[in-house]
Amino acid sequence: MTGAVIPPHSRGRTSISRTALTRVVAAVSGKILGVSAHQVRVELSDDGGRLQLTIHSPVRMVSLDRVVADPNVIGRAGGTLMERGEHAQQHIRSQVTAMTGYRIAQVIVTMTRASIRTEARVR
């Protein structure tokens, strides 16, 4: 038996619900910003047929005591807040596009607070 060729107009349609897309964006954003996905709030909007992502999230940071003791820790922790925001925008865009196939017009990241990374003492 030979395989039947299905005309393109008969193949059906696949869609991603707004809730599923929001959760994907929150999970990707949380991972990149070092926080839990449930701490991330995502707004989706249409921008001329492309997706605009607005993300509100805390960002994981090293403690100020650690920065005072070793200023180089900023670079090792991912850079300044501005650098980390730019990095987050780029990586959120590429990972969400790779996972969903949506074309993304813009990614806006608003860091709502710092989640201070506490460090255990070495004995």
| CATH number of the domain where residue 61 is located | 3.30.300
Is 12 among the domain residues? no
Is 50 among the domain residues? yes
Is 2 among the domain residues? no
Is 75 among the domain residues? yes
Q: Count of domains in the chain?
A: 1
- Answering whether pTM is above 0.75, one says yes
Where residue 66 falls among pLDDT bands split at 50, 70, 90? confident
Q: Which of 2-11, 17-26, 40-49 has the lowest mean pLDDT?
A: 2-11
Q: Which domain holds residue 81?
A: 17-117
CB-based contact 99:24 (threshold 8 Å): yes
DSSP state of 121: P
Separation CA 43–CA 54 (nearest Å): 5
User: How much is the mean pLDDT over the chain?
Assistant: 88
Where residue 91 falls among pLDDT bands split at 50, 70, 90? very high
Where residue 122 falls among pLDDT bands split at 50, 70, 90? low
